[in-house]
Chain A
């Protein structure tokens, strides 16, 4: 199959369409929110329904890891940032309020590490249909992880601790890919190569991409909460004066 061939995971097209329909029906306000939600839904559906899916599922681990980073880290965050306060209140009233930060981070890490275990990964790639499960777990983990932050239930110090813990705990997977000297997944060992990348080089580069993406996302989020912390102090100082 040509690497430019389109592959599909129609379930996520339906999910993206349903989310967009619900969003439009709820009459969103604010240009930035709408842009964020649109970008999030696009990043949720496009990597799974494009040539990226073909390369990820048939050729290169590097592209599969990039795909995972997009749908698990960036897309859920953008979708949640696109929600209006009313939408967030609705989600909180329908179970969101019961999501505890400590369980959310644990679920996210379980999804992150669990789906990358060699047995599960190879099984998902071999069967094809099980990729839907892998991606579903990653997306759900992403939503769970970002929800306590976006729903503003964590104070800036707690958010910084949460992000710091997430950053450290998640980084080991990328480092394992970067420093590995043998391929983890037999599927990619035997897959037809692309762009002259050997299986081990492909895996090392995948780890680099994964770590770079997480570093960027987490440092931006940490920077935002440091800013909030400083503003909080400034307000406290102003009220004390």
Chain B
């Protein structure tokens, strides 16, 4: 995938949404509950505990969303996108940013430690906000009449990149919304039946 990403924007975009969205989503789901406490070795856990104020700040919903959206916007600026393609160091930093930003928002969406920083409605709102922000980028890619990234010629490739992003977001955020809303849907159905 990494090799193909050098020549196809759609593959590169898929790579980003996998490492920045699908992977953090699956990771946070995987460590839900008591497992979270045993995830890190005790010495590391102590250090993490010391940095708690930093994590608490970063995991404020508005901060996490702002960082996620800024990351999404900044790394798609053509100059930075091309810079990352030309310099491995910048490329690694870009990918690290995707993973960190993804982990921040998905920690809020999945809430593996049951911290309840957001209500169910708040989590749905965050997911909708993420989808809307992603949709802006998708629309720019799909609806653009010229090539945005010089390294990737071909408008169809660019449009496919936008669709790949939308499809992935629909899948991950849509699944989350369905899981969160399902108990309420059942309750509504029961009330209606009664």
Residues of A within 8 A of B (CB): 155, 157-158, 160-161, 164, 168, 175, 178-179, 208, 211-212, 215, 219, 222-223, 226-227, 229-230, 232-233, 237
Contacts and interface: CB of A to CB of B under 8 A. Distances in A.
28 contacts: A155-B184, A157-B184, A158-B188, A161-B181, A161-B185, A164-B174, A168-B170, A168-B174, A175-B163, A178-B159, A179-B156, A179-B159, A208-B142, A208-B143, A211-B142, A212-B139, A219-B128, A219-B132, A223-B128, A226-B121, A226-B125, A226-B128, A229-B124, A229-B125, A230-B125, A232-B121, A233-B120, A233-B121
B121 A160 contact: no
Contacts of B156: 179
A43 B181 CA distance: 34
B177 A164 contact: yes
A56 to B, nearest CB: 21
Contacts of B143: 208, 211-212
B131 to A, nearest CB: 8
Q: Kindly name the residue among A160, A179, A232 whose own CB sees the greatest number of chain B CB atoms within 10 A.
A: A160
Given A160-B181, A212-B143, A155 B188 contact: yes
B174 A223 contact: no
A175 B125 CA distance: 26
A215 B135 contact: yes
Nearest to B180: A157
Contact of B132 (A179, A211, A212, A223): A223
A132 B102 CA distance: 49
A232 B181 CA distance: 13
Interface of B: 119-122, 124-125, 128, 131-132, 135, 139, 142-143, 156, 159-160, 163, 170, 174, 177-178, 181, 184-185, 188
Contact of B122 (A208, A230, A232): A230
Q: Helix, strand, loop or mixed for chain A's interface?
A: helix
A147 to B, nearest CB: 17
Contacts of A223: 128, 132
Given A157-B181, A158-B188, A164-B177, A233 B119 contact: yes
If over half of B's interface residues share one DSSP class (helix, strand or loop), that class is named, otherwise mixed; here it is helix
A206 to B, nearest CB: 12
A155 B132 CA distance: 22
Contact of B139 (A179, A215, A232, A237): A215
Contacts of B160: 179
Nearest to A171: B166
Contacts of A160: 124, 177, 181
Given A179-B160, A219-B135, A229-B124, 10 more contacts: A157-B185, A160-B177, A161-B177, A161-B181, A212-B143, A219-B132, A226-B121, A226-B125, A227-B125, A233-B120
CB-CB nearest 9 A-B residue pairs: A157-B184, A229-B121, A157-B181, A230-B121, A155-B188, A233-B121, A226-B125, A208-B143, A226-B128
Nearest to A153: B192
A232 B159 CA distance: 39
